[in-house]
Structure formats: C-alpha cells, structure tokens
Structure 1
Amino acid sequence: MSTMNSNRLSPERARALFAETDVFTLGRMAHAVRMRIHKDAVVTYIVDRNINYTNACDCGCKFCAFYKAPEDAQSFVLSFAQLAEKIRETVELGGYQILLQGGMNPDLALGYYIDMLEFLKRDFPSVAIHGFSPPEVQYFVSKSGLPLHEVIAALKQAGLDSIPGGGAEILVDRVRTAVSPNKCNTDDWLAVMEEAHNQGLRTTATMMFGHAETLEERIEHLERIRSLQDKTGGFTAFIPWTFQPGNTALEAKETSSSEYLKFLALSRLYLDNIDNIQASWVTQGPMIGQLALFFGANDFGSTMIEENVVAAAGVHFRLPEKTLRKLVLSAGFTPKRRNMDYSLREDDGDVVSS
C-alpha cells in the first residue's frame, strides 16, 4: 500500500471517526478498504503451535495470568527433548511453524537461546521459528551486555526466522509504567523491530487493549506502528486483541465484542501501510472471529495447536484446521494456508475443507 496518501487518517480524525461513527458504518468502511487491498476474497491462516519454553519471569506484569516467579515451585523450563516432542507432534498435525515465547527468566543466558535455536533448526529444518518478542530480546541484551544489533544477528544466525509482536500491550509509556513497569519501554520495543527489519527479519505488530489505556493512547500506539512501517516496511501484519482479566492482578472490565470490532475496523483504516489485519478468535471466540472478516480483517491467525497464555486467564477457545476453514468458507471467503510473510502455501490443496 502507498504511504503517500493525501487521505491518510490523522490521530485527530481517527479519534473523531471512532467517536462519531457507529460500529456497523465503521465496519463497512474498513471492509471496503480490506477488499480493495485483497481483491481475491481470500482469508489466510497459518498452522502453528505456541510453545512457551519457560513460564519463569521476573517482570511481574499485572495483566499476565501465565507467569510464575523464578523461585516458584510451579515455574518450569522445557528441556530440548520436550521441545522436540512438541514440534514432532506439530508436524504430524500439519504444522510448519512454531511461535516460541517465554518469560524473562534470570537463570537463562543468551547461550541457552542460541543453543535452542541451533538444536531446533538441526532437527526440524523445515519448521519456521517465529520467536522472542521485543521485551525478550531486550532482556537478552541486558543480560548479555551485548549491543542490540549483535544479539539479533546472533539469533538470526542460529536459526530465528521472524519476530512476533508480543509485549507491545500499548506503546505509550504512561500505560506501560502502570501495567508492566519492569518491561522494556516503547522506544526499546520499537528499536528491536527496527533493527530486526534492518537485518532482513520480518515481524508482526500487536496491541492488547481494554485495560488502562485511553482511546487517544490506542491511536498513539497505531501512529507509532505506522511511522515505523513507513521507515522500514518490515511488519507483515497487525494483530489487535482484548485484555482478558481472569486470574490477573489488573482490574478492568472485559471489553465487549462491539468495542473489539469497532477498534479492529479503525485499525484497518489507520494502518494504510500494513497489508494484513488479523482477527483474534483466540480471545473473542470463533463467531466474533468470523464476523471480524467483515470489519477489516483478512487473516484468521493461527490454528493454535497449543496456547497457554490466554488460557491461563480462563479463555479456552480451540479451532481445528477443518473447522477454521469451514468458518471462512461459510462467511463467503476462500481459506488459504500461508507462511509468516503471507506467501501462500503450495500444500493448501492437501487440506480437506468441507
């Protein structure tokens, strides 16, 4: 998409549009943009597994129901054998990527992550590794004492294929200080993404909303993402999802499906330089995920063979690949397997979609 658009939404116009436009009108506007970008009415998805290699974390984010303090008896670090078993099962189920994320574990040095990547690439060379969110990468930097560019280069050399947009929450330091004061700040999050893009790694961008932020701060988040994309072009997709308050230390009302869909639509309109917007059925459920395909989303995310973080908050949606494809088909779209960079998979024809 062109970034030289005279009709590009400004933050002020975006605020007014959200306040003055009803959810259905905003949805129609976003869907029109989506169909202009993706004229073939295809909805993409990926077959992968979320693997949390450790739940030990010394960040103590108020919104997280998954982490354990490093000294907690319930904290864990998966062995390489356990990782391999999870990936073997993923491949047997048709998966071809893993999303590899964990906590900020003070007992693990950078060498552990390098060894893990080299092990996974040696034993599973065909499986893409989408791993280590920007806060994790910045943690590796602080623990190792190496500069950011050297840490990312080492991870890439060891086998890292792409970086997920986790740990963004809201890219405004007031909010980050309130909900995750021990995690990297906004500029540090963006610095990881910019350096990754400069080194040829593609990444995703995310937002977790519906907790301590204002509408203005949500839009500021979108602006920071759009500005970096103008500079690097390295983001493949934007994925907004809603905070799930169950079992967390953060008090907030659960965001309504209407609010989710309305902001999803605004995201599609604002991010005029990011081609793909992902529906979050993991937090909203399959039916709202399907509805999101008419509010600007063109991607149905992952089949989520395994997911632990949202599940720890008490939300347990699951979607086998055949069911996912049926939802897409019944909405009037053609489902297609994709890679992280949104290239389509040649093995899509192997899937039974009826």
Structure 2
Amino acid sequence: MDAGLKRELEDKVLAGERLSREDGLALYESDDLAWLGGLAHHVRTRKNGDVVHFNVNRHLNMTNVCTASCAYCSFQRKPGEKDAYTMRIEEAVRLAKAMENENLTELHIVNGLHPTLPWRYYPRSLSELKKALPNVSLKAFTATEIHHFETISGLSASEILDELIEAGLESLTGGGAEIFDWEVRQHIVDHRTHWEDWSRIHRLAHAKGLKTPCTMLYGHIEEPRHRVDHVLRLRELQDETGGFQVFIPLRYQHDFVDMQDGKVRNRLQA
C-alpha cells in the first residue's frame, strides 16, 4: 500500500467516516498489523471507551446427526454412523448442570439438522435447561437451525422464535453465516439457508428484542472481496436493526482429523 493511500485511510478512520467497499479491499492489502490494530483500537475506544465484557461460555451439542454435508464441517454425522449421537433431554440437563461449578454464565447450544427429531424436542430442552440453570443465559440455535425448524414444524420463524423465547431463549448463535457471497457459498454449504433466510431470521430475532452475534468463516477458498462483501451485508443489517452484539471472525481449521475414526471430514483447501 502506498503512503498516500495509507494516510488517506487513516485520516478517514480517525475522522469517524464510514469506510467503503474499496476502502475495505485496500485495508486487506496492508500487511502492517500494528497500524491496522491501532486503527481498530481507535474505533473500539471511540465506540465503547474502556468497557469490556467477559462471560464463561460452554458449548452443549445435543445431537451431531445432520442431513447436510457442508464441506467445511467436521462435526456432522449421518444416522447410523458409529459416533453419531442424540441426547435425551435429561442427559443434556445433567451435562449442563455438571458445568455449573465452573462459574458458568452462558450455554452455547448448536446441533446438527436432525432428520427425525420432533420440533417439540427443542423448546422442551430449553425449558428444562432453564429450570435447572435459571441464572445461566441460553444462547441457542443458528439461523440454519431455525430455518430447519420451520420445515419440520410447519410453523413460521416468528412463531418458532416466540415459543423458544417463552422456553428461555435469550439469544440466537451467529453460526450458519460462513461466507454469504454465492460464488463461494455454493461450494462450501450443503443446506438451503443462505443470506436471504439468515438475515430474515436474525432480523426477526432483533425485532423480538433478542441481541445476537454474527460471524464470518474465513481462511478457506474465499478472497478478500468476499470477506468485504460479507461484512458490508452485516453492517447494513446492523444499520437497520441495531441487534448484533458482537462480530466473531472464525478461522477455518484445515484437515481436522477425527480422533474416533481417523477421517478427515472437512474437504476445503485454501
């Protein structure tokens, strides 16, 4: 990056001006991490001061059985595979209770898209978890899962969210976003939840008073232009709803070898 462009971008950030698509692409061309970090720190401090938040978050995955076979995923199993599992609700509660003495503040619950589990399993699970852990925040289900629940229940996403909120849901998770641009997405995702439905479901959640995270999976076959497109879509939705609480960039883990059977289940190569 030449010195003139670098100075222009820095001036724009320090003045609090909104960055454009071209600005985002230019920033990706810089390898000056200290400079980039300094700009990011300036924006963070301007927005939030010295206020930070920590929580003690533990994951609970009630089933790894999934109808999808996404190219990046090492978690999913097909029905009948030897290490496929689905927890009884009582088992999920027992495991969650075992985490309570770790000063647990939040449960992060995501699952596979199970082909035969009934819809009622999910709100019942939340209700029982909330009874067992009334002071623990329940962050549960991706937009992809909510879309799946629409299919298996015949309910709308709005009705589904209402039932889940009544059962104790306090936030969706941010998963299922990956990379929104279809040029990349068509090669990495094996389910039907794309930008239109992902944004629709988060927009609904925000309208119902839920704050949600948003994510981006990077470091696989995408290019900087796809990353910039992704964050611009998220920024536009945040402008509309103000409902995103945090942005989480997730680095893709290459060649994750399953310790149970030695298989490399994710199939993307950068």
Bucket of the pairwise TM-score, normalised by the shorter protein: 0.7 to 0.9
Mark the runs of 5 or more structure 2 residues left unpaired by the alignment: 1-14, 257-263
Q: Which residue of 1 aligns with 2:103?
A: 94
Q: Which residue of 1 aligns with 2:126?
A: 117
Q: List aligned pairs for 1:167-246, cutoff 5 A.
A: 167-245=176-254, 246=256
Q: Which residue of 1 aligns with 2:9?
A: none
Count matched residues. 248
- Cα pair 2:105 2:137 within 8 Å, conserved: yes
- Cα pair 2:97 2:132 within 8 Å, conserved: no
- Aligned mates of 1:189, 1:45 — CA distance in 2: 27
- Cα pair 1:11 1:223 within 8 Å, conserved: yes
- Aligned mates of 2:86, 2:178 — CA distance in 1: 24
Q: List aligned pairs for 1:29-108, cutoff 5 A.
A: 29-40=39-50, 42-108=51-117
- Cα pair 2:58 2:108 within 8 Å, conserved: yes
Q: Which has the larger radius of gyration?
A: 2
AA partner of residue 29 (structure 2): A
- Aligned mates of 2:53, 2:200 — CA distance in 1: 29
Q: Which residue of 2 aligns with 1:294?
A: none
- Cα deviations by residue, 1:239-259 (Å, 9 ceiling, x for unpaired): 002100123332324xxxxxx
Cα offset for 1:219?
A: 0.6
Which of the residues 247, 251, 263 maps onto 2:268?
251
- Cα deviations by residue, 1:120-144 (Å, 9 ceiling, x for unpaired): 1222222211000100000001111
Please state whether the residue corresponding to 1:178 is helix, strand or coil. Answer: helix
- Cα pair 1:99 1:129 within 8 Å, conserved: yes
Please state whether the residue corresponding to 1:12 is helix, strand or coil. Answer: helix
TM-score of the superposed pair, with normalisation by structure 2: 0.87
- Aligned mates of 1:48, 1:17 — CA distance in 2: 32
Please state whether the residue corresponding to 2:99 is helix, strand or coil. Answer: helix
AA partner of residue 22 (structure 1): D
Matched, 1:17 2:34: no
User: Which of structures 1 and 2 has the larger relative contact order (alpha carbons within 8 angstroms, sep 6+)?
Assistant: 1
C-alpha spacing 1:128/1:20, structure 2 compared with 1 (3 Å) = closer
- Cα pair 1:59 1:183 within 8 Å, conserved: no
Cα offset for 1:92?
A: 1.1
Please state whether the residue corresponding to 1:161 is helix, strand or coil. Answer: coil
TM-score of the superposed pair, with normalisation by structure 1: 0.67
Please state whether the residue corresponding to 2:128 is helix, strand or coil. Answer: helix
- Cα deviations by residue, 1:186-209 (Å, 9 ceiling, x for unpaired): 111111100000111110001110
Matched, 1:159 2:168: yes
How big is the alpha-carbon RMSD for the aligned residues of Structure 1 and Structure 2?
1.6
Q: Which residue of 2 aligns with 1:298?
A: none
**How much identity, in percent, do the aligned residues show?**
34
Q: Which residue of 1 aligns with 2:12?
A: none
- Aligned mates of 2:151, 2:130 — CA distance in 1: 26
AA partner of residue 116 (structure 1): S
Please state whether the residue corresponding to 2:53 is helix, strand or coil. Answer: strand
Cα offset for 1:52?
A: 0.5
